[in-house]
């Protein structure tokens, strides 16, 4: 079935020219010189794309745009003007226009604009389907897993801290640390009570931020569902946990970008995009007693009651790293940004062959992780003398956010990794209704 394009312009020559181009390209068209009539045509015909002139005799083009967007938030509108200004173009885009073109419009411009507008409409429709799915299958643990609350066992408590999301959508591009491929990620705000959700691109598989969907913990934390997976979620989740972001949609191609190997750029993106308090109290996981995993080979991880959230970690490797200890209490995002977020992931020369055989670490470059040789760090200057142990704390803060809520508890870890982080979450879930 041919796509329908509505053309709205008070110049008959423009209507004829645009219509001819679009018909030649395989589209059906409907034309009008009236903004009022355009709204009625849209209501009845539901065109796929609209070319809309700024200046109309009966109704301003921006007013018509507003009416179309109110009628259909997915309306894909290309604004046109022969004597517009930059401020008008900016205003049109802010009001929801897909594109703004100056007349006379060339053949190639028309073709490119209509193709982009169709892609935009398809993207908006996919987003709406995902958001509808999110609302129907909330990530909140009790709803997502149909667990009936058990009296005295639920660790969830309402706090006086508000739920938070970001103020506007944003995009982050980079390389996947383990896949080695170019990857992109879209962050979109969600309303209160939504939670954090991942969506795989281009399959649109919905994966809630929850420990049950953890599939792998070798060198990074991977979520998977219905044959789709998202690798290396821990650095992003660490920043979200530290900044108290509780409602967010994350659309990503396969693997979260590694960026410089730390969480610094995620923090910068959150601050640049803006964080919005949503006026609704958040729930927190309030640890009620001591939980423990490990105990073999010196590994040990515990989490116990506390009036805040803190992580202490003891790390021990052969030289040149040696033994390092660090303790961090998360009270304000800026403390995380300054003391934990800059710490980069690291790897050893001796492990590279094995990692390559496993298909891991192929995106590791000299600027996105710390490469450790037999006697020294090979590729960079350390940001902290104890950067290695700080990165372990960064990972723990991220992995523990896979309970779906901020945590109030004291974490003590020794020689542990992603597997232990996920193991203690599963222990908590198995013994409680979350």
Whether 418 is catalytic: yes
Whole-number Cα distances in Å, 361 to 179, 273, 365: 7, 30, 9
Task: Let me know the angle formed at the C-alpha of 162 by 157 and 163, rounded to the nearest 5 degrees.
Answer: 85
CB 324 within 8 Å of CB 413: no
Contacts of 99 (CB under 8 A, 6+ apart): 78, 79, 113, 116, 117
Say which of 197, 241, 391, 418 is annotated catalytic.
418
Angle in degrees, CA 188, 190, 192, rounded to 5: 155
Do 157 and 284 meet the contact criterion of CB atoms below 8 Å apart? yes
Tell me if 200 sits within 8 A of 392, measured CB to CB.
no
**CA-CA distances (angstroms) from residue 394 to 112, 113, 173, 236, 262?**
44, 44, 21, 10, 8
DSSP per-residue codes, 252-291: ESSB---TTSSSHHHHHHHHHH-EEEEEEEEEEEE--S-E
The continuous run of DSSP H or E covering 419 comes out as helix 418-431
Q: What are the b/e assignments for 321-355, b being 16+ CB within 10 Å?
A: beebebebebeebeebbebbbbbbbbbbeeeeeeb
- Specify the residue for token string 């996947």: 176
Task: Give the CA diameter of the chain.
Answer: 81
Give one word for 96, left, alpha or beta, with left for phi > 0 and alpha for psi -120 to 50: left
Cβ atoms of 269 and 187 closer than 8 Å:
yes
Burial of 132 (0-12, 13-18, 19+ CB in 10 A): exposed
Q: Is the peptide bond before 320 cis (omega within 30 degrees of 0)?
A: yes
257, 175 contact by CB (below 8 A):
yes
Q: Which residue is it, tokens 């312009």?
A: 9
CA angle 385, 319, 346 (to 5 degrees): 60
Q: Which residues are catalytic?
A: 418
């Amino acid at each position: 079935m041919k796509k329908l394009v509505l053309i709205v312009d008070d110049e008959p020559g423009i209507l004829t020219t645009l219509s001819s181009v679009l018909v030649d390209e395989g589209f059906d068209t409907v034309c009008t010189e009236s903004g009022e009539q355009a709204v009625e045509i849209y209501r009845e015909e539901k065109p796929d794309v609209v070319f809309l002139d700024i200046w109309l005799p009966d109704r301003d083009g921006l007013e018509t745009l507003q009416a179309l967007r109110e009628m259909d938030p997915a309306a894909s509108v290309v604004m046109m003007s022969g004597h517009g200004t930059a401020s008008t173009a900016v205003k049109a885009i802010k009001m929801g226009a897909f594109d703004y073109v100056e007349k006379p419009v060339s053949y190639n411009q028309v073709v490119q604009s209509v193709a982009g507008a169709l892609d935009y409409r398809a993207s908006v429709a996919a987003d709406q389907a995902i958001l509808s799915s999110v609302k129907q299958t909330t990530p909140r643990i009790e709803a997502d897993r149909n667990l009936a609350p058990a009296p005295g066992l639920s660790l969830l408590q309402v706090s006086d801290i508000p739920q938070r999301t970001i103020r506007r959508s944003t995009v982050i591009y980079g390389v996947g640390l383990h896949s080695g491929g170019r990857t992109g990620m879209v962050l979109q705000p969600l309303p209160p009570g939504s939670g954090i959700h991942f969506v795989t691109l281009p399959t649109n598989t919905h994966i809630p931020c929850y420990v049950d969907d953890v599939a792998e913990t070798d060198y990074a934390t991977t979520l998977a569902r219905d044959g789709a997976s998202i690798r290396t979620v821990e650095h992003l989740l660490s920043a979200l946990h530290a900044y108290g972001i509780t409602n967010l949609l994350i659309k990503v191609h396969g693997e979260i970008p590694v960026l410089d190997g730390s969480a610094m750029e995620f923090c910068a993106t959150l601050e640049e995009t803006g964080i919005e308090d949503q006026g609704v109290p958040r729930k927190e996981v309030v640890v009620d007693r001591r939980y423990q995993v490990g105990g073999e080979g010196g590994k040990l991880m515990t989490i116990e009651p506390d009036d805040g959230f803190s992580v202490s970690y003891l790390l021990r490797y052969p030289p040149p790293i040696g033994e390092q200890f660090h303790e961090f209490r998360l009270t304000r995002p800026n403390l995380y940004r300054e003391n934990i977020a800059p710490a980069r992931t690291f790897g050893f020369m001796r492990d590279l062959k094995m990692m390559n055989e496993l298909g891991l670490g192929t995106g590791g470059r000299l600027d996105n992780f710390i490469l450790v040789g037999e006697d020294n760090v090979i590729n960079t200057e350390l940001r902290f003398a104890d950067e290695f142990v700080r990165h372990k704390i960064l990972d723990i803060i991220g992995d523990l956010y896979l309970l779906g809520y901020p945590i109030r508890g004291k974490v003590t870890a020794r020689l542990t990794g992603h597997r232990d982080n996920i193991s203690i979450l599963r222990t908590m879930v198995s013994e409680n209704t979350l």
